[in-house]
Structure 1
Amino acid sequence: MNLVFVCSRNQWRSPTAEAIYKNHADYTAKSAGTELSARIKLTAKLLEWADLIFVMEKRHKQRIIDKFPDTVRSKQLIVLDIPDDYGYMNEELIESIKSSVSPYLD
């Protein structure tokens, strides 16, 4: 299953989520950001590749729908409600991501 994690600048939250799931036997994970300043920018190709799209905040979901309406029409976009309060691989962030994502993977 292909997972994409999205935040604003692809610096802390989505790369942490990618790191958690990228070496898992059942999942392939990638991450991207919605902002022009994102380290890795979200593309239609990445969204097409994804089986599940996880966004950190509601505004990320709306930006994706606004920018890629045809691409995500049949996709599941899941809002994790994880604020931009953590650094990369912060223990609380890892736990928050795992607890929010696991219901969709089990």
Structure 2
Amino acid sequence: MKRVLFVCSRNRLRSPTAERVFGARRDLDVASAGLAPDAEEPLTADLVEWAELIFVMEKRHRAALNRRFGRRLRHARVVCLDIPDDYGFMDPRLVQLLEARVGRHLP
């Protein structure tokens, strides 16, 4: 089972949507977190070390991830989805983007 982590800023809209969409797959163990101090589920070193594949929503998330957890990213592949913070939770347009962009990186 592949361990997949979705990361955005506050873990309120994009990454929880991705967790819900891909959490239904039996071949994935999925989690989500946010980089901001006030995130619903703040990103921790333990989560970073747990993940085999990390999807960030924006390039700035990748930069922040590298700054804060660079040494802990040795075992994880990080993919930027380039999805701006323009969508609500489970917005059908966001779901469609996630399925298209994440799907090409999963078996």
SS of match in other structure, 2:43: coil
Q: CA deviation at 1:69?
A: 1.2
The answer for the alignment partner of 1:95 in structure 2 is 96
Q: 5+ residue gaps in structure 1?
A: none
State the TM-score, normalized to the length of structure 2. 0.96
Deviation for aligned residue 1:23: 2.2
Structure 2 counterpart of 1:77: 78
CA distance in 2: counterparts of 1:69 and 1:89, whole angstroms: 30
- Tell me the CA shift for residue 75 of structure 1: 2.1
Contact 2:49 2:75 in 1 (8 A): no
Which residue does the alignment assign to 1:19?
20
Q: Deviations over 1:39-81 (max 9, x none)?
A: 1000110011111000000000100100011101342110000
CA distance, structure 2, for counterparts of residue 50 and residue 3 of structure 1? 6
The size of the alignment, in residue pairs, is 106
TM-score (norm 1): 0.97
Pairing 1:66–2:67 present: yes
Report deviation, 1:37.
Answer: 1.0
When the two chains are superposed, the root-mean-square deviation of aligned CA atoms in Å is 0.8
Task: Name the CA distance, whole Å, in 2 between partners of 1:86 and 1:73.
Answer: 31
- Say yes or no: does 1:37 pair with 2:38: yes
Q: Distance in 2 between matches of 1:75 and 1:26?
A: 17
Once the two structures are aligned, what percentage of the paired residues are identical?
44
CA contact (8 A) 2:8 2:56 kept: yes
1:25 shift after superposition: 0.9
Matched, 1:54 2:64: no
Q: CA deviation at 1:95?
A: 0.4
- 1:28, distance to aligned residue in structure 2 (A): 1.0
One-letter amino acid of the structure 1 residue matched with residue 77 of structure 2: Q
Aligned-pair CA distance for 1:100: 0.3
